[in-house]
Structure 1
Amino acid sequence: MNITKFISFVSFLFIGGLGQHGVPNVALILIILYQFVHDIFHFQNGMLWEGLMMIPLIGTLLVLLLCEEYKDRYLLICCYIALLVTTIFLTGVFNSDNYSMKVPNSFIIPLSVFLISSVVSVILIFKKPVIKK
């Protein structure tokens, strides 16, 4: 099961954006965090508030990697739902300018791997543990 969680973690980080200059989530997270920290210490044009979304996102990724037992199954589902919602906002699915473009493989393949591996991980964690006597 740890392999499926790791695959879903890596595939989430490599989901590319849909925009003209779509970057993978890992680069976007690092850019937004850098800009957020920069805006906190240099008060120039206001603050990039998307950085506040990155802090719980990193926490969700850490919780996802730490969920291992049967008792953590509902927390794992919540993590996957939060990551899926975050993917919708990070990739620009709601941007109407992206509808006229061809959907790139850097979005389709990692998103499908993320969805498949997260479903497999949830199925595996919902199996009752075998108690040895």
Structure 2
Amino acid sequence: MDSRIDHIELATTAPIQLIDITAEVRKRVQASGLRHGLVTLISNHTTARVNLNEHEEQLQQDMVTFLKRLVPRDGDYGHNIAPVDDRDNAHAHLLGLFANASESIPVADGGLLLGEWQSIFFVELDGPRAKRRVTVQLLGER
């Protein structure tokens, strides 16, 4: 069994943002030569997540609106009294409770086994940020 670690680096431009990283993940699977196995993606941040969902512009806006309503940025949060990095971002940490930090996707015949409407998203919850990272672990047979 082969194992490989790679990274996807990206920047975000909005407080809450969904970025489709499906093409980047496919590139890494193809470059690895992996034929059968598993790709695991993990956000390296406590205020950003990885998610499988449909890539449709209006739905993405609905998701952003939903997240903003679920945990408002201007709530009365203790974490904002003494933030670790001078960011009032308790809302982003709380939103993270409702999403996965990682996703695992099977690989067969060199391709991702995603459903017809599934795409892979990096979900920013505390943007904008100049540098974000997703770790990509590829395991399997070439």
Shared topology, TM-score over 0.5? Answer: no
TM-score (norm 1): 0.30
| TM-score for both structures, normalised by structure 2 | 0.29
Higher gyration radius (CA): 1
